[in-house]
Chain A
Amino acid sequence: MTVTLETRRTVPEVETRVRRSISERLAPYAYIAPFFLLFAVFGLVPLLFTFYVALFDWNPIGEHVFIGFDNFTRLLGDARFWNAAWNTISIWLLSTVPQLLLALCVAHLLNHARLRLAVFLRMSMLVPYITSVAATAIVFAQMFDRDYGLLNWLLGLFGVEPINFLQSVWGSHLMIAVMVTWRWFGYTTLLYLASLQAIPRSLYEAAAVDGAGSWKQFRHIALPSLRPVIVFTVVTSTIGGLQIFTEPLLVSRAAPLTCGPVRQCQTLTLFLYEQGFGQFQFGYGAAIGVALFVLIVAIATLNYVLSTRIRKERG
């Protein structure tokens, strides 16, 4: 298909194209220029400036002393950094994997041909997404509370001792993961649903005639056509998941910058914020930012490699 398009366009227009002026050739660049200029000002320059600041002992209202790579060597030996990195990865896995699986199932259900109130049900998936994160965090923190939380009250009915979610490592991670999942799974569901609806009904009908059940239809028709959008959601939720900030900041009102007394749910972005804006160590904070950048680039590359492999398998 692409070949025919190409030939049709090139052959008759060769001469006119040459004659057209330079300004026309530059036009496309002008059209995309606003984005790239804004990106340069608000994206690239701050990024490069972060690398620069990371080489200093930088007090925002005091002295800036060049210290080379000292911030990075300090970072590698800092137990708080590794703790935050581990917390970030743990919360990311706990929130992303169930979220994507859940979204896949719900999208499949919402795609059912004879679903009643389809529009209402589909639109209501977006409600968590448009709710303010702060409100979400406060409500969930109350639900998971040790003494007066809804969850512990329910568990108490079955004779379970109250669980101190916030103060334990796995409990606080679970709590934040639930918040992230709740907030994002509706959005992911709609993405999946959109792809599912692009699949012609006739494929399902043909499969049904051949005797394929609901599960087999899902496995052999829906899942393969969802591959690109699954790759997309994995990439975006990875980037988002590694930058989780608001939820851990708000669940622990007593020690917000560390997410609890032993930094049990402090993520990398929260650690960055604590060092940069709590302690005024902009240089060290910038170094954490650079480390986070490297981590995200590494995981995104891994994603890219995996997704191209999947695409090749398809092709």
Chain B
Amino acid sequence: MKLRIATPVVLATAVALTLSACGGGGGSGPSQPAGNSKSFEFWSFTGIDQKVSVEDYQKKNPGVQIKLTEVGSSVETAQALTTALAGGKVPDLVLIQGDDLPKFVQQSQNFHDLRPLGADKIKGDYLDWVMSQSTAKGGEIIGIPTDVGGMAVAYRTDLFKEAGLPTDREEVGKLWPTWDAFIETGKKYTAATGKAFVDNAATSVFYQAVNQGPQKYYDPSGNVVYSTSPQVKTAFDLAIKAAQAGITAKQSSFSEGWSAGMAKGQFAVIAAPSWMLGGIRRNAPDTEGKWDVATIPGGAGNWGGSYLAIPKGAANPKAAWDYITKTQSPQAQLEHFAKSGSLPTTPSVYKDPKLTGLKDPFFSDAPTGTIYTNSLLGLKPFFIGPDSSTIGQEFQNAITNVEQGKGDAAKAWDAAVANIKTAIGK
């Protein structure tokens, strides 16, 4: 009878499905690449072009198999890594974006301490404050920096000319040695043209100014001090001042209106790390040659940058470490800069003609290599904690709220501090 056969078959299928589902989620140990000690798995994110480095390395090291996966955006890659770490099936090498790094540094037991592999010997090659961000409380180094963003101001020379402001990058830099002078320049620009000066206050003023000092949201021993740190309050007040001066276009960074405003000259100035230049080029292709790059008020700054890390469960940490040392040496980073424009994290090459000689025609032939690496030298290491990004986001939200005309400027600081207390519980 047909039915008698069908019943066990259906049951067996169902059981098999259940079992395979359990096997997938249960997470057994890391997969061993079959007998080849030279192959490893590498997770990167899109838009940073690790393929070039991988192919280069494979050419120089025949026999090494690298399985490169571009998981998604930097945030998606960090989320996938989190899931992988929780499940136990991890890649041998992973690229982590600087903003996502603190969460992983805080749980450093999930990663190989790179010191025994040789990180102790090469850590002096890199900027000290960049290294400090991938160093855990106990001194474990879990990441080697691949690039940084640096910081400068991109401005429209044609719009500056209309407003009667100087257009030469040296003179423009001298207009704003401090953030107060920056706001004053903005007032002059807006008075002369009736247009907004800078895109927004939260990102272009607060986010930059708050990074220019030795202590941000945490003290060096890791206690939260955001509500008493003078550097934070000063940066916050500056941003509120800029918002109230009416010199901002009220366009939050990366919003649709912001991209459109950039192309239409709605604002003349953007705080721009090195990787932002590509974004300006894409958003406003018709403005070629109308931009230039000047130093940031306060002189120093950084936004962005990534790290290579090796998860604890990696099948082949030695091969991954060899890749790190070969592709992230000062000379290799310099070569990568010449190809892709991402800034080296190794100060020894900052005076190299390959770096200083690079000029960008879209930005009126500005020597971007020199301008951006100079902004990196003035920065001091500060403690970044697990809640740093939450704290920063709440402060920026409060500033945006005032800028949009919804929030009361006098109460903004207290509101931000209260929101942070709710969010992080301290």
Contacts and interface: CB of A to CB of B under 8 A. Distances in A.
A42 B253 CA distance: 39
A37 B19 CA distance: 10
Interface stretch (B4-12, B212-220, B319-327, B334-342): B4-12
Contact of B257 (A27, A31, A146): A146
A41 B14 CA distance: 11
Contacts of A62: 106-107
Contacts of B7: 23, 26-27, 30
A280 B7 CA distance: 45
Contacts of A233: none
B191 interface: no
Interface in B388-426: 390, 393, 396-398, 400-401, 404, 406-407, 422-423
Contacts of A79: 422
A34 to B, nearest CB: 5
Interface stretch (A174-182, A186-194, A249-257, A292-300): A249-257
Given A42-B21, A60-B82, A60-B86, A261 B404 contact: yes
Give the secondary structure class of B's interface. Answer: helix
B245 interface: no
Contacts of A280: 82, 103
B255 A252 contact: yes
A258 B397 contact: yes
A63 B173 CA distance: 49
A168 B22 contact: no
Contact of B406 (A147, A167, A255, A258): A167
A225 B157 CA distance: 69
A277 B18 CA distance: 27
Interface in A11-36: 21, 23-24, 26-27, 30-31, 33-34
Contacts of B17: 34, 37-38, 41
A135 interface: no
Contacts of A138: 256
A198 interface: no
Contacts of A40: 18
A262 B104 contact: no
A141 interface: yes
Contacts of A78: 422
A26 B82 CA distance: 44
Contacts of B82: 60-61, 280
Interface in B1-50: 3-4, 6-7, 10-11, 13-15, 17-18, 21-22
Interface residues of B, number: 48
Interface in A136-170: 138, 141-142, 145-148, 164, 167-168
Interface in A53-111: 59-62, 78-80
Contacts of B397: 255, 258, 261-262
A147 B104 contact: no
Nearest to A36: B14
Nearest to A277: B79
Interface residues of A, number: 41
B257 A30 contact: no
Nearest to A79: B422
A12 to B, nearest CB: 21
B298 interface: no
Nearest to A275: B423
B3 A254 contact: no
B424 to A, nearest CB: 9
Contacts of B390: 279
A73 B10 CA distance: 46
A41 B22 contact: yes
A24 to B, nearest CB: 6
Contacts of A61: 82, 85-86, 103-104, 107, 110
B356 interface: no
Contacts of A26: 7
A142 B256 CA distance: 6
Contact of A254 (B86, B106, B252): B252
Contacts of B166: none
Contacts of B21: 38, 41-42
A23 B3 CA distance: 8
Contacts of A37: 14-15, 17-18
Nearest to B311: A61
Contacts of A142: 256
Contacts of A59: 107
A279 B250 CA distance: 27
A234 to B, nearest CB: 34
Contact of A34 (B10, B85, B255, B260): B10
A252 to B, nearest CB: 7
Nearest to A262: B401
Interface string B147-168: 0000000000000000000000
Interface string B371-397: 000000000000000000010010011
A65 to B, nearest CB: 14
A57 to B, nearest CB: 10
B348 interface: no
Interface in B267-322: none
Contacts of B255: 252-254
A79 B256 CA distance: 29
B393 A255 contact: yes
Contacts of B347: none
A124 B23 CA distance: 44
B234 interface: no
Interface in A256-286: 258, 261-262, 277, 279-280
B11 A30 contact: yes
A42 B13 CA distance: 16
B18 A41 contact: yes
Nearest to A280: B103
Nearest to A24: B3
Contacts of B256: 138, 141-142, 145, 148, 253
Given A31-B10, A38-B17, 11 more contacts: A21-B4, A30-B7, A42-B21, A60-B82, A61-B86, A145-B256, A147-B257, A253-B256, A261-B398, A262-B406, A262-B407
Interface of A: 21, 23-24, 26-27, 30-31, 33-34, 37-38, 40-42, 59-62, 78-80, 138, 141-142, 145-148, 164, 167-168, 252-255, 258, 261-262, 277, 279-280
8 contacts: A41-B18, A61-B104, A148-B264, A254-B254, A254-B400, A255-B393, A255-B397, A262-B401
Name the 7 nearest CB pairs between A and B, nearest first.
A254-B252, A261-B397, A261-B400, A60-B86, A148-B260, A61-B85, A62-B107
